[in-house]
Amino acid sequence: MNFTLNILGTASALPVLNRFPSAQVLDVRGRLFLIDCGEGAQMQIRKMRLSYLRIDNICLSHLHGDHIFGLFGLLSTMAMLGRTSHLNIFAPKGFAPILKFYLSNFADGLRFSIEHHPLSMREPETVWSSRSLEMLAFPLNHRIDSYGFLIREKMPMPNVDKAAIARYDLTVAEIAALKRGEDVVRQAGDEVIPNAEVAYRPYVPRSYAYCSDTAPFPELPEWVKGVSLLYHEATFPEELASMAEKTFHSTARQAAECAAAAGVGRLVIGHYSSRYADTAIFLQEASEVFPKTELARECMTVEVPLVKLTV
Just list the catalytic residues.
Answer: 66
CA nearest 28: which of 55, 9, 60?
55
Tell me how far, at minimum, the Cβ of 154 lies from a second copy, in Å. Answer: 34
Residues of this chain, 65-94, that bind a second copy according to CB under 8 A: 65-66, 69-70, 72-73, 76-77, 80-81
Quick one: 97 or 189, whose CB is closer to a second copy? 97
Tell me how far, at minimum, the Cβ of 146 lies from a second copy, in Å. Answer: 15
Beta bridge partners of 58: 34, 89
Distance (Å, whole) CA 211 – CA 135: 14
The span from the first CA to the last CA of the chain, in angstroms, equals 20
The answer to whether 103 contacts a second copy (rule: CB under 8 A) is no
The answer to whether 99 contacts a second copy (rule: CB under 8 A) is no
Name every residue whose Cβ is closer than 8 Å to that of residue 149 and which is 6 or more positions away in sequence: 33, 35, 59, 61, 90, 135, 136, 137, 138, 209, 210
Query: Which among 62-70, 151-159, 177-185, 200-208 is the span making contact with a second copy, rule CB under 8 A?
Result: 62-70
Over the window 166 to 205, marking each residue x when it contacts a second copy by CB under 8 A and - when it does not, the resulting string is: ----------------------------------------
Residues of this chain, 24-53, that bind a second copy according to CB under 8 A: 39-40, 42-43, 45-47
Longest dimension (CA), the chain: 76
Tell me how far, at minimum, the Cβ of 121 lies from a second copy, in Å. Answer: 23
The answer to whether 283 contacts a second copy (rule: CB under 8 A) is no
Quick one: 15 or 202, whose CB is closer to a second copy? 15
Distance (Å, whole) CA 116 – CA 122: 19
Query: Which among 12-20, 28-36, 170-178, 220-228 is the span making contact with a second copy, rule CB under 8 A?
Result: 12-20
Distance (Å, whole) CA 51 – CA 9: 17
The answer to whether 162 contacts a second copy (rule: CB under 8 A) is no
Distance (Å, whole) CA 21 – CA 213: 12
The answer to whether 13 contacts a second copy (rule: CB under 8 A) is yes
CA nearest 83: which of 59, 55, 41?
55
Half-sphere exposure of 153 (CA within 13 A, CB side): 23
Name every residue whose Cβ is closer than 8 Å to that of residue 74 and which is 6 or more positions away in sequence: 34, 37, 41, 42, 45, 52
Residues that bind a second copy (CB under 8 A): 13-17, 20-21, 39-40, 42-43, 45-47, 63, 65-66, 69-70, 72-73, 76-77, 80-81, 97-98, 101, 105-106
